[in-house]
Amino acid sequence: MLFGVSCYLDLHRRNAMYHILTKNAPCFTTVLQVDCFTFYSHLVYLLALRFRASRCKRSYVTGMSRMAGNLPHGLDLAHWMGDLPPTLRAAPLKNLAIPGTHDSGSFYQDKTFEISPDGQTLLEIINEETVKILGLTVNDVVNNWSVTQHDIGVSGQLNVGVRYFDLRVAWRESDNSLYFVHGLYGSKVETAMQEIADWLNTHTKEVVMLDFNHFYNIDDSHHKKLSAILEEKFDSKLCPKTIVSQAVDVTLTMLWEHRHQVIVFYNNNEIADHHNYLWSDWEYLHSHSPNTYEVAKLIAWLENEGVCDESKFHVSQAILTPDAITIVGNLGHSLKTVLATPAMPEILKWLKRKISGSGSNGVNIVIADFVDLEFLLAVIKLNYT
């Protein structure tokens, strides 16, 4: 059920009346009284958060870089695949524990652009007048609830160990370009692919998995343009699905022998069938969303899922998904503060009970929002247990 919000301030009575009502059922109305001092204190708090944001970003990037160069057990996150022991290099990739990011392209989103095609439903639950009172714009709120990764770019994610990228692409008519999207438009696909290609040139033993799983405003001509970008940027680095009789049995050793570093999953079977380097999501990848905003339900879902289908790569989505009520009730907050950060300790506990590989306790690819070093290390170290 989608919610609309309206807010009225009675300054003379020093009270703010928040009216939260269901669009489709106006009779259902909740009225909250909020002391104005508390209300304005909240505004000051939001301004303080904005002032701290750039400092937090700089300290996060600096901290990640410093810690990545001084890790326990000699792990070098920028080269962790190349540093694996011989037995793991010869093991199928489906039996390795590989960290990834959810909505990997949302590390940057341009709030000066229009809402992207996948973010249109958010406009139905965000009231512009209400967010103005909070000192925000509609695009601010969409950004807060759609950014899922720290702003360190794709090469920054690679440097700290990420090897699987969850990607959503849209065609933007106004400048005839392909963008990564998640509520808003992010970086151009071509720019990000070049950044990955440049990084791989200096990290020749590392392998990345690019999962193009959502397409918006995309027709055959746009798919053709996207495939042309992949071919131009990666060329012989692209791994064909015919590299071995059972493609999911591909190993690092095989990839190194052929100098392949990129596996591309593609959620369009018809297009994938025409390109030997596009691995159909449906055929080669198991990836389902837990679709809950409750931590307990997420962990229960992850526990029960397991890796049972050895004919595919398996993605464990350790993520929470907000519903309309969660967003409307937290317009001044974000996905990170309300859901992602509180969930991470429980996700880490769940990972401690896992092993790399198949079976009820096995994991292969694990993705999360706002991944940090503790999460990345927890996943990679499963390869050594």
CB count in 10 Å sphere of residue 229: 18
Catalytic residue among 19, 73, 182, 214, which? 182
The single residue listed with the structure tokens 């970086």 is 187
Tell how far CA 108 is from the center of its chain. 11
Catalytic residue among 73, 79, 102, 286, which? 102
Q: Alpha carbon of 306 to those of 33, 357, 363: distances in Å? A: 46, 10, 7
CA dihedral 346, 347, 352, 357 (to 10 degrees): 150
First to last CA, the chain: 45
Q: Which residues of 257-281 are buried (b: 16+ CB within 10 A; e: fewer)?
A: eeebbbbbbbbbeebbeebebbbbb
Q: Is 102 one of the annotated active-site residues of the chain?
A: yes
> 107, 179, 111: which is closest to 139 by C-alpha?
111
Widest pairwise Cα distance in the chain: 76
Active site positions, annotated: 102, 182
